[in-house]
Amino acid sequence: MQQKLHGKQSSPYTAPIVKEINMESTKVHDQEMLSLLESIYKKYGYDFRQYSEAHVNRRIKNRMMLSGMKNISEVEFKILHDQSFAGQLLQDLSITVTEMFRDPGFYSSLRENVIPILKTYPFIKIWHAGCSTGQEAYSLAIILKEEGLYDRTTIYATDFNQQALDQAKDGIFSNDLIKEYTINYQLSGGKESLSNYYTSDYDHVIMNQSLKKNIVWANHNLVIDSVFAEVHIILCRNVLIYFERNLQNKVQQLFFDSLVSGGILCLGSKEGLRFTDFFNAYTELDKKERIFKKKY
Amino acid sequence: MHIPSWIKRNEFLKKNIKMQYEAIAIGVSSGGLNALKIILFSLPAGFAIPIIIVQHVSARSEGYWIELLNEKSNILIKEADEKEKIENGIAYVAAPNYHLMIEKDKTFSLTIEERVNYARPSIDVLFESAAICYKNKLIGIILTGANSDGSKGIKQIQEYGGLTIVQDPEKAESSLMPESAISAIKPDHILPLEEIASLLINLDKKNNN
């Protein structure tokens, strides 16, 4: 199932309504870089102006080098006139590195500390924000299945990167990766054999249809899109690390507004709420694994 | 004896003194724990220049070694947190399985992008962002290691006018990483570990005058 949660950005190449540029949030970028990021936003609707500068710098300079370009203005020109280059740069700026059961300790804590809470709900809605190529969404589906909760769950798995989302929906992963995923799965307290959840050929595995049934794959951009559902859990791991503090706060507001009272927020193993305005809005369910519970 | 972190950091360290060197970036791989011990344990309490370290470790490392180092050191040694502001008198270590970068406002950023030189954290990634941030107020150091990560980064530190130090390959547990750095640049200093420590202590003293 593929659906669009918000109309603002149906294709990577439609121009959005250009909002007034917020100078305060953009001052850390060099003038040249800022001009490039503004062009990307105006033409394609993707707003990287409040992304971590070191990250954006590194990714764009890498692309510049690979394409033999000399300066940022050359990149800007090409962005405006060459859509395939723009698509490429978009992929560069969107980090799709992920694994099934990434950080096994997190997934075992999820089983131990979060599943018992979920069992008290008649139906469960989960928002997996920034799902990239889907590995963690499938991991979640597997745990819910093993805990007997999958049939009453809807997982909204969202990302702004349509290419990654399409891959996620296919659920086809390279065989080379499965070995690592299997170790992760076992370390996370998996109850079966991971191979029960996929079919393999020589090079690839394809995830079982039964895991996909209750996953809604949707294009949603945390930077510009808004609340679309009230959910019991939000999983957003290793996405906020790329955002500046202002943007982190804005997205945390979005999460806060989307979660039910007592809802669960799961962040990446090095992410936290300490440097945001929401530190006091949650209690720590598992400090080490960065699992938080929204206060009543 | 374990010294609580609040005792380790003197109040004067927080003051904004104009310093010649504002940060030290260290890249180290195999043999790193011993090398880091020699340097970090030599630094006196009150050593002000913040230190940022990339030590190659396995993705599943739990970081107990950082606590062990901290227990025996005169300065505070801790993992670098996402968005944390870099402060004087602290040695920060990159978290396993994340690249560590420095923003222009002297805070840390983490990324999980692809491995660089087969490493995450990668020394090149830290050094390149540190060079852009601190320019000629940075000291870059390459220590023992069995790969060539850090060579590009130390070159960048030199190009931005920073001070470059490489461990003497003949004295290093693994010579490849220092050798690779030396073939990439002509470092300001090629020294054994003990002398790197003394040099840092001298530079820190001069810094405060």
pLDDT at B7 over 90: no
Q: Is the predicted pLDDT of residue A220 greater than 50, yes or no?
A: yes
Catalytic residue among B29, B129, B148, B175: B29
Which residue in B109, B129, B133 is closest to A241 by CB distance? Answer: B109
Nearest CA in chain A to B105: A28
CATH number among 3.40.50.180, 1.10.10.10, 3.20.20.70, 3.40.50.300, domain B52-208: 3.40.50.180
Q: Are B125 and B148 in contact (CB under 8 A)?
A: no
- Please say if the pLDDT value at position B89 is more than 50: yes
Q: Count CA within 13 A, CB hemisphere, residue A207.
A: 25
Residues 172-231 of A with CB under 8 A from B: none
Mean pLDDT of A257-270: 97
Q: Kindly state the helix (H) or strand (E) to which residue A171 belongs, with its residue range.
A: none
Known active-site residue B168 = no
Mark yes or no for CB contact A54/B102 under 8 Å.
yes
pLDDT in tens, A23-72: 343 345 688 999 999 999 999 999 999 999 999 999 999 999 999 999 99
Catalytic: B5? no
* Sequence spans of domains, chain A: 2-93, 104-294
pLDDT above 90 (res A289): yes
CB B187 within 8 A of CB B181: yes
Query: Could you read off the pLDDT of A96-126 as tens digits, one per residue?
Result: 999 999 999 999 999 999 999 999 999 999 9
Residues in chain B with CB shorter than 8 Å from the CB of A183 are: none
Query: Sorting pLDDT into bands at 50, 70 and 90, what band is B9?
Result: low
Which pLDDT tens digit goes with each residue over A58-100? 999 999 999 999 999 999 999 999 999 999 999 999 999 999 9
H/E stretch holding A80 = helix A72-81
Cβ neighbour number for residue A166 with a 10 Å cutoff: 14
- Counted across chains A and B, CB pairs separated by less than 8 A come out at 57
Confidence of residue A201 (pLDDT cuts 50, 70, 90): confident
Please, what is the average pLDDT of chain A? 90
Give me the residue spans of the domains in chain B: 52-208
Work out the minimum CA distance from B198 to partner chain A, whole angstroms. 32
Whether pTM exceeds 0.90: no
| Residue A275, pLDDT above cutoff 90 | no
Q: Is B183 a catalytic residue?
A: no
pLDDT score for B22: 96
Residue A257: predicted pLDDT: 97
pLDDT of residue A132: 96
Q: Which helix (H) or strand (E) holds B140?
A: strand B138-142
Q: Which of B73, B99, B149, B151 is the catalytic position?
A: B149
Give the span between the Cα atoms of A125 and A86, in whole angstroms: 35
User: Model confidence at B2, in pLDDT bands (50, 70, 90)?
Assistant: low
Q: What is the pLDDT, as a whole number, of residue B1?
A: 46
CATH of domain A104-294: 3.40.50.150
